Amino acid sequence: MFRLIIGIVIGIIIFIFAIQNVESVDYTFLAWTLIAPRAVVVIGTFIVGLFSGWLISGFRNIRRRK
């Protein structure tokens, strides 16, 4: 239950930060350039981090069961 509350609080903080940063910014990675609102990139990065953490914890649980 504690982890859920902490997760919700962090999610709300990231959401507030993203809403306050809506201007478009150029992002460059290797040869690609992307023009997107900073909020989209912040929320996207947060979602990718959640997904990767979920995958890693899932793999650890599978190893523990064996």
The confidence score (pLDDT) of residue 66 equals: 64
Mean pLDDT of 36-59: 86
Residues near 28 by Cβ (< 8 Å), separated by ≥ 6? 34
The confidence score (pLDDT) of residue 57 equals: 84
Quick check: 55 pLDDT over 80? yes
Tens of pLDDT, residue by residue over 2-38, are 888 998 998 898 888 878 888 888 989 899 998 988 8
CA angle (23, 17, 46) in 5-degree steps:
100
Q: Any idea where the domains of the chain sit in the sequence?
A: 2-65
Please tell me whether residue 29 adopts helix, strand or coil conformation. strand
Pair of tokens at residue 61: 């649980």
Which is nearest to 46 in space by CA: 14, 1, 17, 3?
Answer: 14
Please tell me whether residue 34 adopts helix, strand or coil conformation. strand
